[in-house]
């Protein structure tokens, strides 16, 4: 590195010890791992938060994080600032096509005859809502004219307040639509301005957003009875013990035969062997065994 480049690097805000303590605190409260490669990121986000709360040393900032009064709120702000919220409508189309064709359509067919047909879907780590709204649009497409008869709830949860607020507002710029078929943009969005598009009431009515940290055992245990869970592009940020805990929650939250979709570059290898791996054309999903599959498995071992 040249002298000039070295001179431009901002001074570290956190000492080695403070970085270590903060990493442990964040891991304890969120499962997120902040090792040495993330040090510069953490340093710059902490510098911003220190300016926001009006302290000028890492030690004073840690004191705030640990204080019973200000700590919980400030920790939420910091977690919001250090998490990656990258997302878009219809992200990973092959996976969503597989969901629609091989999971949603058969599920709808099975439930159609019921007097109270219902669908429960959870988008865990939903960021600013593009994923659960895309799922809502696919549900509306599959239900067609029958939609008003159905009890559909799609839950979008995330640990970051800023993205949950944006999701509830439901208004997006062009960048959120990269890769989105024009059909959906025309059918399910109202144009608010040259670069502003608002989700229409149809999908909005199906989706509920809430703050939920995967590390919140009580909150996670409350998420029950889902036919499908999406947790895409979030598990990569956790170490194996945290992934195991979170995926065990997703397993318990599913009905027997329910499906889990994770990011296309993610895997449950070494994390859980409770699911059946299902190969759809262009996508993989994990299925919670039906009750009789479990019995067969138990008898066979």
Ligand X SMILES: C[S@@+](CC[C@H](N)C(=O)[O-])C[C@H]1O[C@@H](n2cnc3c(N)ncnc32)[C@H](O)[C@@H]1O
List interacting residues with ligand X (CB under 6 A). Answer: 30-32, 83-87, 91, 125-127, 131, 158-160, 163, 213-215, 232-234, 237
Nearest residue (CB) to ligand X, 143 versus 166 = 166
Q: Where are the alpha helices (DSSP H) in the chain?
A: 3-8, 16-30, 39-53, 58-66, 71-82, 93-98, 105-111, 130-143, 161-169, 182-188, 201-206, 217-221, 240-253, 291-300
Nearer to ligand X, 82 or 143 (CB): 82
For 179, other C-beta atoms within 10 Å of its C-beta total 10
Residue with tokens 């019995």: 295
Q: Least distance to ligand X from the beta carbon of 157, Å?
A: 7
- The nearer residue to ligand X, 55 or 251, going by C-beta atoms, is 251
Name residues whose C-beta falls within 8 Å of residue 272's C-beta, 6 or more positions apart in sequence: 244, 247, 248, 251, 286
Shortest CB 82 distance to ligand X, Å: 9
If the CB atoms of residues 143 and 271 are measured against ligand X, the closer one turns out to be 271
- For the chain, the first-to-last Cα distance in angstroms comes to 59
As measured in angstroms, the least distance from the Cβ of 11 to ligand X is 28
Query: How near is the Cβ of 6 to ligand X at its closest, in Å?
Result: 32
Residue 73 has a CB neighbour count (10 Å cut-off) of: 11
β-sheet bridge partners, residue 122: 155, 229
Q: Which is nearer to ligand X, 180 or 213 (CB)?
A: 213
Residue 30 C-beta: closest distance to ligand X, Å: 4
CA separation for the pair 284, 98 (Å, rounded): 8
Shortest distance, position 140 Cβ to ligand X, whole Å: 20
Residue with Cβ nearer ligand X (83 or 180):
83
Shortest distance (Å) from residue 215 CB to ligand X: 5
Q: Which is nearer to ligand X, 29 or 143 (CB)?
A: 29
The 196-199 sheet, strands edge to edge: 171-172, 196-199, 189-193
User: Could you give the CA distance from residue 238 to residue 216 in angstroms, rounded to a whole number?
Assistant: 15
């Amino acid at each position: 590195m040249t002298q000039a480049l070295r001179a431009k690097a901002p001074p570290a805000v956190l000492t080695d010890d403070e970085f270590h303590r903060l990493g442990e605190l964040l891991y304890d409260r969120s499962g997120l791992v902040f090792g040495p490669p993330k040090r510069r990121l953490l340093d710059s986000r902490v510098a911003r938060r220190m300016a926001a709360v009006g302290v000028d040393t890492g030690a004073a900032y840690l004191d705030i994080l640990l204080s019973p009064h200000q700590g919980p709120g400030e920790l939420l702000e910091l977690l919001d600032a250090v998490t990656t919220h990258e997302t878009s409508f219809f992200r990973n189309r092959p996976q969503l096509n597989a969901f629609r064709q091989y999971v949603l359509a058969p599920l709808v067919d099975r439930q159609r005859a019921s007097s109270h047909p219902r669908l429960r879907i959870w988008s865990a780590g939903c960021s600013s809502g593009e994923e659960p709204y895309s799922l809502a649009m696919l549900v509306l497409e599959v239900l067609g004219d029958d939609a008003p008869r159905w009890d559909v709830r799609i839950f979008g949860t995330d640990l970051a307040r800023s993205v949950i607020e944006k999701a509830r507002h439901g208004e997006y710029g062009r960048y959120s639509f990269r890769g989105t078929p024009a059909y959906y943009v025309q059918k399910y969005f109202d144009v608010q301005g040259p670069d502003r598009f608002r989700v229409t009431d149809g999908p909005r009515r199906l989706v509920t957003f809430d703050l939920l940290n995967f590390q919140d055992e009580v909150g996670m245990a409350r998420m029950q009875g889902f036919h499908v869970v999406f947790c895409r592009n979030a598990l990569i940020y956790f170490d194996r013990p945290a992934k195991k805990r979170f995926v065990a929650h997703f397993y318990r939250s599913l009905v027997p035969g329910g499906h889990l979709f994770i990011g296309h570059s993610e895997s449950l290898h070494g994390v859980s062997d409770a699911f059946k791996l299902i190969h759809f054309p262009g996508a993989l999903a994990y299925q919670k065994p039906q009750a009789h599959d479990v019995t067969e498995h138990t008898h066979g071992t």
